[in-house]
Amino acid sequence: MLQLKKLSHDAVSTLKERWISQLDSIIESTGATYYLASDFERIFDWCDKHCSDENSDSVYILETDDGQPRAVSEIVDASKAKDPSFKFLNVYMEPNLCTDWRDRLDSATMIDITNVLAAVVTRAAELAAKKGINKLKIYSRTEEMNGVFDALLSLPGSEVPEGFKLYKQGYKWLVIEMERDDEQ
């Protein structure tokens, strides 16, 4: 089971250690460039910055039960905004799930990526529900992600889980509205 945990200095230390080990293996076995490592250095710096900011509580690490960091995600509580929601802004996956160094994706990796993304979205929805918010907005940073949004929206109504309403807001946001128990 994957759990979303608040970012901490200890979690970032573990994240760096595990992800640098993955990067070293990827670079050694594939000849991937060190540019890949510089991308992850930026992620580590971003995590360190958020740990140092006492007012920052929007960055989470998705971990396995045994503490393996699978992803880092930025989820913002916008419940006090004009349109109350939680906003899922970023997700960075572990190097083994990064697609930048691959020539092609095998089905096992695609399933793993999907499972990690689904876990982050599910946990973000749970965070929103705990605050009494029934709306989760997911921001699309890439055309590929926007394509996933369009594919989700093209599902027949019978394939959308009961109690959920999906739609796009503007070009870049997928909105998931969840029916709350008190609305039934």
pLDDT 10s digits, 102-116? 778 788 888 888 888
Helices (H) and strands (E) in the chain, counts: 4, 7
The SS3 of residue 26 is: helix
pLDDT 10s digits, 50-79? 887 766 788 999 999 998 999 999 999 998
pLDDT 10s digits, 11-32? 999 999 999 999 999 888 887 7
Domain 2-183 has CATH 3.30.200: no
Q: Residue 178 in contact with residue 163, Cβ under 8 Å?
A: yes
Q: And the tokens for 180?
A: 């709350």
The SS3 of residue 135 is: strand
Instruction: Using alpha carbons, select from 135, 122, 139 the residue that is nearest to residue 86.
Output: 135
